[in-house]
Structures are given as C-alpha cells and as structure tokens.
Chain A
C-alpha cells in the first residue's frame, strides 16, 4: 500500500530484523485487540435476531483471525517468535489500539450505533483521514520495512532456513481469505497486503470519495478477496460496518461520500443484551456467581491464549483443540450476557472481562 510522506513521518522506519519483529509482534497484538470489542457486540445480539448484523460482525472477526495468522506467519518466516501468552498481550478496555492510533478509543460495547462507530474508526480507510494514522498505514510501514530489509540483507538472513512451522490453511476454515506459506519477500508482501485489503480496501492513489462505486477493481470498497483469492466479492470491513451503521446496502452508483442508498437492512437494537460497557471484575464484587462465571470465562480465555501461543511456536496441531476452546469462550460470553447484574441502577447485564490469568 502507498504511504504518503506525511504519514510516513509518523512512523519510525524499520531498519533491522529486530525492529521488524517488534512491529510484527505489535501487529499480532493489534489484530487480537480488535477481537474483544467485535465479539462483545456479536455475542450481545439475542438468539435468532439481527441475523444480518450477526453475520457481518462474524465475517469480520473471522478475517481478523486470518490477519493475526498472516502477521504471525511473517514473523515466524523471518525468524521471530510470536508471544501471545502474557498479561500484556491483551489491553485493558477502554484502550487505544497498540499501533499508535491515538485519535479514538476502543471500548467493549453491546451491539449499538456507538459500537459500530468505533468499528468504523478501527477499519477507517487511510485516504479518508489524511492527518491520522490507520491500521493500513501501520502495515504499509511494515511493508516498506520488509522491502528495505530485502534490499539490504542477504535473503537467507531475512528469511532464514529452518524456522518453526507456520500455520497452514487447513487450520483456518469458514472465513474469507486463504493462508499462504511465507517464504520470501513476495509471499510476505502478499500476506500483509491481504490484511490491508480486507480491512480498508485497496484504493488507488487517485482515490476520489465522490466517484460512484461501480464495484469494480481499485475503487477502494471491495475487500480484495476476489482478486487475491478468487473468492466472491465482498466489501472491505469499513464499508460492511457502514452498511450496518446506516441500515442500508450499498448499490451501484453509491460513492464513499454518498454512503449506502440501497435496500434497508433490518436491525433491531432492542434485541440485544444490555451488556455493561467495558465490564471489569469489580462489577461482580457483590455477585459471586457472576464472578465465578467470569472467572470461568477468563480461565478458558487463558487456555486459548496458551494454545494459540504454542500453536505459533512449534505445535500448529494445537489449533484443532484451540478452535474448540473458541466455541467454549463464545458460550461463556453469552452466558454472562444473559445475566442481569444484581442491583444495577442502569439494569446492565454482565459481560466477559477478557483477562489472561497467569503472570
């Protein structure tokens, strides 16, 4: 992706392998930090309601996990070791995103217009916010660093032989994109590019927010899956969330600035569990049963991070039980959300607190 001179100034250029590793570790933390907010909104939707919204958020979650895996594979391919099993890996909410995006805050919220606004900030296309940095800009800097290192280092130094096993596509199912092995600059750039395209879209350099979307290549609205992976055409995350926020579909003739003007999307914000914003363990201080449920959630969450960590550090087979752990986590999150917090003046329901339990 193209990174303007102005935006480049906001990043420290990557000039060594250890700096590259540091940024890729940050990328993994960045991708993971989007999951608690997305999943909090997703699981707050009551059973068999808001089907469209549920599917949209779920599709984005699936692709965030794909991004995490891509970043981890690039890190492994360049001789690094992803670290997921520590308390610093997961931010405490509300938080700023770990890539240095200081211009908005991310909270854990039930499915609501406020949550969708945050999601749009997270997926904001770079061209849309010229003075601010986005996830796409962060990755553009990583790409620039990869290119720089490939020009200055011998290939077997940037991509050494005998690195640990990467995560193969067979472990990833049900989501957009395809995990491809990273062995050289081209495959590393392909993996990073897929992250940018799915989140923000791939606009060309002459991006014009008033140009109608003919839904063709290079307009910045499509996720790139159809070009990169020969998969059905999809909207980039930002535009998927904007459809929900506006309650309408994009149709031909719409532009970035016009927003979606197509058929209405049925959304019922009343069919949502009233999860307390940014739940924390203090909320359950006088509700021992909820504290126990939340502890159980965190125990499973800790197990998941341990499984993922080990899967990315030599034992990819652990992803099979890890997916089972993810489903358990979903059940526990929903169980918390179905419970009102006793004596809550706002009549809030409980929600998971997303804590890694080991130090």
Chain B
C-alpha cells in the first residue's frame, strides 16, 4: 500500500470527511509533502500502521475511541496526528510542541523548503480548508459566495426552496465511509 493512500486513510478517520471529499480539495499531496518533510519517516510509518490496524479492527464509535486512546493520547503520535488534522481544517502547519521536538525532532528533513514553524501551507490550501464547509461558510476573499448571500444564515440559501423529501440520503453522504 503506498504511503499517500495511508495518509488519506488516517486523514479520513481524523477529519470525518471521506476520501473522495479529501481528494476533492486537490491539496492532499501538498499536505503529505509537508508532513513527510517535517516528521521523521519512522514516526509517520508507525502512525500509518497503527491507524490501519485500528480501522481494520474497529468501526464507528469504537474506532473513534481507540483512535483517541492509542494515537491522539500517544506522546509520539498524538502531536503528529493533531497536526494532520489542523492542516486539513485550517490549512496551517503548527510548530510541533517543544517536548515533542526535543525528543523526536530531527533537524532539516528537507532543508530550505519547509521548516517546523507556524506557516500557511499555500494560497490554494487556505481556500480549500475544511473549516469553511464545516462552518457552512467560505474563505473570505477567496471563494465567492455570490452577491448578497452574506445576508443569509449558513445553509439558508439552500433551504429557501424546499427540494422535498423524495431524495434518498445515504450513509456515504454523511462521510461515514472509511
């Protein structure tokens, strides 16, 4: 299994968005590049293996719990997983916590391109942050919502005409596929 696929697998569990939704942002590979530039390969591998194993054994709420217990609460893997989550939602890389850096950080994974400091990942990443759809909002100044739509409550423009209840809403639409 290639590592990018592993990255999407762990990202699906972390973000709650399915793989196609994540690929739809068009910037997953960029996040992957940032991650692999700044975090040692062995720790990334460990995270991916652990995430795959948990997803294989557990589903739904149980997976959620095990993920919190074994990954997010883990000294080594937790900060990395949280940084992946923040990349997807906020399009930012946050400097890893000092204690983590002192214990696991390896200087200059790829000198020059990325440094382990706080930074906006790219112009396009800002536009594609998951925080916007999660809020029912849009990235200000970067994705037009249409003139005057700012006067509507989030989601309101979609409810002004009732589509009726004849449309099936499947589980997959809720992002439950992993």
B137 within 8 A of A: no
Query: When each residue 265-296 of chain A gets 1 if its CB lies under 8 Å from chain B and 0 otherwise, what string results?
Result: 00000000000000000000001111111011
Identify the closest chain A residue to B156 (Cβ).
A321
User: CA–CA, A31 to B170, complex, Å?
Assistant: 34
Contact with A along B126-150 (1 / 0, CB 8 A): 0000000000000000011111110
**Chain B nearest CB, measured from A105 CB (Å):** 30
Whether B18 pairs with A323 at a CB distance below 8 angstroms is no
Which residues on B sit within 8 Å (CB–CB) of A321?
A: 146, 149, 152, 157, 160
CB-based contact B21/A293 at 8 Å = yes
Tell me which of B22-30, B61-69, B76-84, B94-102 binds A. Answer: B22-30
**How far does the alpha carbon of A204 sit from the alpha carbon of B105 in the complex, in Å?**
74
Q: B164 → chain A, closest Cβ, in Å?
A: 7
Contacts of A307 in B (CB 8 A): 160-161
CB distance from A351 to the nearest CB of B (A): 12
B75 within 8 A of A: no
Say yes or no: is A173 at the interface (Cβ < 8 Å to chain B): yes
Are A306 and B18 touching (Cβ within 8 A)?
A: no
**Contact mask for chain A residues 323-355; partner B; CB cutoff 8 A; 1 contact, 0 none:** 111111001001110111000000000000000
Please tell me if B172 contacts chain A, counting CB pairs below 8 Å: yes
User: Are the C-beta atoms of A327 and B144 separated by less than 8 Å?
Assistant: yes
Residues A289 and B146 in contact, CB atoms below 8 Å apart: no
Q: Does B20 contact A (CB under 8 A)?
A: yes
Contact of B163 with A302 in the complex, beta carbons under 8 Å: yes
In contact, B163 and A338 (Cβ under 8 angstroms): no
Please tell me which one of the listed residues A291, A303, A335, A357 contacts residue B161 in the complex, with CB atoms under 8 A apart: A303
Question: On chain B, which size bracket covers the interface?
Answer: 20 to 34
Q: B20 near A320 (CB under 8 angstroms)?
A: no
User: Is A303 in contact with B173, judged by CB distance below 8 angstroms?
Assistant: no
Question: When the two chains form their complex, are residues B163 and A303 in contact, meaning their CB atoms are under 8 A apart?
Answer: yes
Range class of the A interface residue count: 35 or more
Chain A residues near B158 (CB, 8 Å)?
Answer: 300, 303, 325, 328
Contact residues in B for A291 (Cβ distance below 8 Å): 172
Is A323 a contact of B146 with CB atoms below 8 Å?
yes
In the assembled complex, the Cα of A307 lies from the Cα of B161 at a distance in Å of 7
- Specify which chain B residues have a CB less than 8 angstroms from the CB of A331 in the assembled complex: 143
How many pairs of A and B residues are in contact by the CB < 8 Å rule?
90
Tell me if A339 and B23 are in contact (CB < 8 A): yes
Contact of A295 with B147 at beta-carbon distance under 8 Å, contacts A335-B24, A339-B20 already known:
no
Q: Please give me the residue from chain A that is nearest to B177 by CB atom.
A: A289
Q: Does A48 contact B (CB under 8 A)?
A: yes
Asked if A261 is at the interface of the complex by the 8 Å CB criterion, the answer is no
Would A293 and B20 count as touching, CB distance under 8 A? yes
Complex CA gap A299/B157 in Å reads 13
**Which of B20, B166, B167 has the most chain A CB atoms closer than 10 A to its own CB?**
B20
Contacting pair B24 A339 (CB below 8 A): yes
Contact present for A335 and B21 (CB under 8 Å): yes
For B168, give the chain A residue with the smallest CB separation. A295
User: Are B146 and A295 closer than 8 Å at their CB atoms?
Assistant: no
Q: Are A288 and B177 in contact (CB under 8 A)?
A: yes
Partner of B172, one of A288, A335, A339: A288
Task: With both chains docked as a complex, state the minimum distance between the C-beta of B3 and any C-beta of chain A, in angstroms.
Answer: 17
Q: Does B86 contact A (CB under 8 A)?
A: no
What are 20 A-B pairs with beta-carbon distances under 8 A?
A48-B123, A48-B124, A288-B172, A293-B20, A300-B158, A303-B158, A303-B161, A303-B163, A306-B161, A306-B163, A307-B160, A321-B149, A321-B157, A321-B160, A323-B149, A324-B149, A325-B146, A327-B145, A335-B25, A338-B26
Binding site for A on B (CB under 8 A): 18-21, 23-26, 123-124, 143-149, 152, 157-158, 160-161, 163-164, 166-167, 170, 172-173, 177
Top 6 A-B pairs, shortest CB-CB distance = A335-B24, A324-B146, A289-B20, A323-B146, A324-B149, A321-B157
